[in-house]
Amino acid sequence: MDKKFNKSLSDADGVYRYITRRHDLFEQNAVLKVEEIGNGNMNYVFRIADTESDKTIILKFADGHTRISEAIKVSTDRIKIEAGMLLKQNELVAGYVPTIFLYDEENNCILMADCKDYTIMRELLSEYKIVQGFSEQITDYLIHSILPTTEFLLDCEAQDKLKAQFENPHLCEITETYVFSEPFNARSEVNAIYEPNKEFIEQEIFEDTSLLKEVEKLKKAFRNKKQALLHGDLHTGSIFADNSSIKIFDFEFAFYGPIGFDLGNLIANLIFAWLHAEADSNRQSFIHWVEDTIASIINLFRIKFIRELAHAEAKNKVLSKNNVNAYLEEVISDTASYAGIELIRRIVGLAHVKDITSISSEEKRIKAEIAAIAIAKQLIINSRSITTGTDFVQAVRKELLNRVNVLSHI
Ligand code: SR1
Ligand code: MG
């Protein structure tokens, strides 16, 4: 096949032509069917199926602009980052990520394994389906992908090399803009505020100068606190699950940053699943599962971090327990802050979550959004006193209770 395929891979027709010119992935005479299955903001994702066998593979294509808007230009370097990350993750946490078959640098695409027996976790949660053992598995994934890239287990030279490989300025800029800047900018032209909550958002976000100062600090730390190699966009839409196992995908935002950024995104998106369930009646057992899951993720992360470090100590420098504890306290408090940022940006900013937008009753959506913002502010302002899993759950419960009283007057 010629190196550069001069047809865009942004539609099924282009992908069909591309794949039928390659002879290394399917039988030569295979009858193939291509369908677009992705609905993300950034890239195009297609399933290619051999109609006569069960074989399917996924093609992911990164265009020079986002999928949701041609006006938002973005470097195609992101697909290189994603390919590099898939390889790295297959080294560190194989089984938790899809296998990559091919990275085609010329055509800005990746071909990888299809997780067709799995469902996107956000979809499962929105139907109140739980994922057995989720906190155990996700903390396993986090510890084994994050810890080996930290200063605890890598010497400076190796860390610098990895940092250089995963320098991801364009996508970090997207995060800075759509996560840390626009949602806190009263004059933004890209935010998508739910009209009935406009006044509340103006007062609680745009006019709260101490919140805005804190957000500025968090944005700086996002850029400068290079603790570990992270996923960079770890929400429940970046996790596949069946009822008992998970796979993490969508690594284009990977970067070296504060560990609490990944953990915080995850916790915030579990809080969205909780708020979605609050808007429905009789969902108490699901809500209990979410509460337990949030608390366990924080607690298990801390326990496993310490345990894995102790295992590694035999081979590495002896670490002071005080240092590790202080480091972890900071990670947990960053987690609270970044969870708050994610909660706000998904309500105020451009990219919303289905957990909230699918609430059809106007009154319930108003309440869910107000609760999300109130919880977020608690998490950001009181981040230093949030140190355990239970503290996260209490922060949510407290705001839900306050809001029930306040909102009963709406
Ligand atoms: C331009 S939209 C930006 C968001 O989409 C991705 O899914 C990331 O969450 C990013 O923040
Ligand atoms: Mg994504």
Q: Which atom of ligand 1 is nearest to the CA of 350?
A: 2
Average pLDDT of span 174-193: 98
Average pLDDT of span 216-240: 98
Q: Which atom of ligand 1 is nearest to the CA of 69?
A: 1
Provide the pLDDT for residue 249. Answer: 97
Q: Rounded to the nearest 10 degrees, what angle do helices 77-93 and 134-146 cross at? A: 110
Q: What percent of the chain has pLDDT over 70?
A: 94
Provide the pLDDT for residue 409. Answer: 41
Question: Is the pLDDT confidence value at 1 over 60?
Answer: no
The Å distance, Cα 181 to ligand 2 centre, comes to 19
Q: Rounded to the nearest 10 degrees, what angle do helices 259-278 and 321-348 cross at? A: 50
Provide the pLDDT for residue 404. Answer: 60
Q: Which residues line ligand 1 (CB under 6 A)?
A: 40-42, 66, 72, 174-175, 178-179, 233, 350-351
Listed range (142-156, 272-286, 310-324, 388-402) with the worst mean pLDDT: 310-324
Q: Which atom of ligand 1 is nearest to the CA of 345?
A: 11
Provide the pLDDT for residue 312. Answer: 81
| pLDDT, mean over the chain | 94
Question: Is the pLDDT confidence value at 24 over 90?
Answer: no
Provide the pLDDT for residue 316. Answer: 57
The Å distance, Cα 248 to ligand 2 centre, comes to 11
Question: Is the pLDDT confidence value at 410 over 60?
Answer: no
pLDDT class of 315 with cuts at 50, 70, 90 = low
Question: Is the pLDDT confidence value at 219 over 80?
Answer: yes
Question: Is the pLDDT confidence value at 407 over 90?
Answer: no
For residue range 354-393, what is the model confidence (pLDDT) as tens digits?
999 999 999 999 999 999 999 999 999 999 999 999 999 9
pLDDT class of 408 with cuts at 50, 70, 90 = very low
For residue range 42-75, what is the model confidence (pLDDT) as tens digits?
999 999 999 999 899 999 999 999 999 999 999 9
Q: Which atom of ligand 1 is nearest to the CA of 250?
A: 7
Average pLDDT of span 117-121: 96
For residue range 123-182, what is the model confidence (pLDDT) as tens digits?
999 999 999 999 999 999 999 999 999 999 999 999 999 999 999 999 999 999 999 999
| Minimum CA distance residue for ligand 1 atom 6 | 41
The Å distance, Cα 238 to ligand 2 centre, comes to 6
For residue range 248-274, what is the model confidence (pLDDT) as tens digits?
999 999 999 999 999 999 999 999 999
Ligand 1 mutation target, pool 42, 44, 63, 262, most atoms within 8 A of CB = 42
pLDDT class of 244 with cuts at 50, 70, 90 = confident
Kindly report the pTM of this predicted structure.
0.94
Provide the pLDDT for residue 29. Answer: 87
Considering every ligand atom shown, identify the ligand nearest to the alpha carbon of residue 250 and give its number.
2
Listed range (21-30, 211-220, 265-274) with the worst mean pLDDT: 21-30
Q: Going by DSSP bridges, is the β-strand pair 56-61/100-104 parallel, antiparallel, or unpaired?
A: unpaired
| Minimum CA distance residue for ligand 1 atom 8 | 233
pLDDT class of 25 with cuts at 50, 70, 90 = confident
For residue range 332-351, what is the model confidence (pLDDT) as tens digits?
999 999 999 999 999 999 99
